[in-house]
Amino acid sequence: MSDIPAREAKVYMQAARRLPVTIVRGQGTYVWDDTGKDYLDFVAGIAVVSLGHANPGLAETIARQAHTLITVSNIFYTEPQTELAELLTEHSALDRVFFANSGAEANEGAIKLARKWGNMHKNGAFEIISANNSFHGRTMATVSATGTPRYREPFGPQLPGFIFVDFDNIDAIKAATNDRTVAILLEPVQGEGGINVPGSDYLRQVRAWCDEQHLLLILDEVQTGMGRTGSLWAYEQMGIEPDIMTSAKGLGGGVPIGAVLAKEHAAVFEPGDHGNTFGGNPLATAAGTYVLRQLLEGGVLDNVRARSEQLRQRLEGLVDRHELVRGVRGRGLLLGLELHKEVAGDVVLAGLRSGILLNAVRPDVVRMMPPLTITEDDVDRGVERLEAAIREVAAK
Ligand SMILES: *Cc1c(COP(=O)(O)O)cnc(C)c1O
């Protein structure tokens, strides 16, 4: 074990719970620790490293852009920013983009857009209906919008104007709607909340309610978007279009970037309304363009669907072979392995010993979100290592 944990403990704010491993490099679906041990990375930076670690084309793109122009300011035009905005609008149902640097910052932009739209078009309506167990980020507005009380409560008072209802329950949304309601904010599949996939009609019902009540539908696709669930955006599988959508995580393949997208009628920012120093800088947007082109033209989306099918089948095998394993849920390469006992944390630690990085998203759910470029062999090898971890925990 390196001396990093001891050094870090003295100087770093202890805000994150860390696993006892220091990662030094990666290649494809693998990472290596400081003792040279390899791990199959089924965390991928929490659904971020879409093209795998040290992807040569992405590294080349970033290096070339760094040698050309890393950043100027949003008071000037740059081509990489415009190019990514063109691509995103061409390949989504949304018309305009604003770039941020993270998922939380993208959601901040979406919340500001909705509030301004409420001031302009709905008599100052400002309330946003959000879901229990949702996750929208860690800034003040986004923790206020997040349906997980422990993320909010130490930091009160909250930003007012967020109402929480049960996910996957249209009647709860209808009951919570009033004159002050301006928008409904949802993840198409709840990620941090435990990989909760709603019923097939839910988002269609929400969309119809928004149309009837003149409300904005904001979809947080920070985790589900950019191919993660098997289509470029998860909403495509649900038969609806949002008015506002956010993206981040996988968009830059590891380079920090976020985006707020809106239909023309909801894109109500005017010059001076919103801004940032780094958002949409040439380095991050060149990376985003490279990643998006790989998804669209490089066969990555096809790989997500094929590998998802394979991984699901292998995980169903674990359900058959191990009493501890209850089922599989999720979409694309955002999958959760449900356990009969609250030992997901133990499976994650055993995975470190058997050589796989996993995430305990709930006490009884292990989350898997490998690079979208994962190979057939690496899916098989990953499930072998996961099975070794499950065997170890089951034997205890
Ligand atoms: C991770 C996540 C966020 C926050 O993104 P950051 O880049 O960590 O700020 C917001 N919404 C969803 C759905 C997420 O999964």
pLDDT digits (tens, 9 = 90+) for 282-295: 999 999 999 999 99
Mean pLDDT computed over 301-319: 98
Query: Is residue 79 classed exposed, middle or buried when 0-12, 13-18 and 19+ CB atoms within 10 A define those classes?
Result: exposed
Query: Which of 185, 222, 260 has most ligand 1 atoms within 8 Å of CB, for mutation?
Result: 222
Tell me the best of 223, 255, 331, 369 to mutate to test the pocket of ligand 1, counting ligand atoms within 8 Å of each CB and taking the most: 223
pTM of the model: 0.98
* Centre of ligand 1 from the C-alpha of residue 123, in Å: 30
Say whether both 61 and 129 belong to one domain.
yes
pLDDT digits (tens, 9 = 90+) for 139-154: 999 999 999 999 988 9
293 and 329 fall within a common domain: no
User: Of 244, 273, 297, which closes a domain?
Assistant: 297
* pLDDT band per the 50, 70, 90 thresholds, residue 1: low
Instruction: Please identify which residue in the block is written with the tokens 């959000």.
Output: 130
Cα 252 to ligand 1 centroid, rounded to whole Å? 14
Domain that holds residue 212: 57-297
Mean pLDDT of 82-110: 98
Residues 93 and 179 in one domain: yes
Q: Are 265 and 242 in contact (CB under 8 A)?
A: no
- Looking at the fold, whether 77 and 17 belong to one and the same domain comes out as no
| Among candidate residues 276, 297, 318, the one where a domain is terminated | 297
Q: How confident is the model at residue 181 (pLDDT cuts 50, 70, 90)?
A: very high
Which of ligand 1's atoms lies nearest the C-alpha of 221? 13
Kindly report the number of other CB atoms within 10 A of residue 204's CB atom. 14
Among all chains, which residue has been given the structure tokens 């920070």?
A: 222
- Are 245 and 235 spatial neighbours (Cβ–Cβ below 8 Å)? yes
Whether residues 282 and 390 share a domain: the answer is no
Which residue minimizes the CA distance to atom 10 of ligand 1?
136
**Gap from CA of 260 to ligand 1 centroid (Å):** 13
- The residue whose C-alpha atom lies closest to atom 11 belonging to ligand 1 is 136
CATH number, domain containing residue 366 = 3.90.1150.10
Radius of gyration of the chain (CA): 21
CA 115 to centroid of ligand 1, rounded, Å: 20
Claim to verify: residue 264 and residue 312 sit in the same structural domain: no
Residue 251 is predicted with a pLDDT of 98
At residue 362 the predicted structure's pLDDT band, cuts being 50, 70 and 90, is very high
Query: For residue 335, what are the contacts with CB-CB under 8 A and spacing of at least 6?
Result: 195, 308, 311, 312, 315, 328, 329, 367, 368, 369
Among 260, 277, 297, the domain-final residue is 297
Question: Do 128 and 150 share a structural domain?
Answer: yes
**Total domain count, the chain:** 2
* Alpha-carbon span 198 to 187, nearest angstrom: 10
100 Cα to the center of ligand 1, angstroms: 12
- pLDDT tens-digit readout, 229-239: 999 999 999 99
Q: What is the pLDDT of residue 396?
A: 86
Query: Do 176 and 310 fall into the same domain?
Result: no
Give the whole-angstrom CA distance, residue 96 versus residue 293: 19
For 75, 128, 210, the CA distances from 181, given in Å and listed in that order, are 34, 6, 10
β strands within 211-287, DSSP E: 216-220, 244-247, 258-262
32 and 70 co-located in one domain? no
> Over 70: is that where the pLDDT of 61 sits?
yes
Whether residues 45 and 130 fall in one domain: no
Residues at CB less than 6 angstroms from ligand 1: 102-104, 107, 135-137, 187, 191-192, 220, 222-223, 248-249
Tell me: do 346 and 277 sit in the same domain.
no
Q: Both 171 and 293 in a single domain?
A: yes
As annotated, the active-site residues are 135, 220, 249
Higher-confidence residue: 295 or 2?
Answer: 295
- What CATH number is attached to the domain comprising 160? 3.40.640.10
300/306 Cα distance (integer angstroms): 10
Half-sphere exposure (Cβ direction) of 328: Cα atoms closer than 13 Å: 20
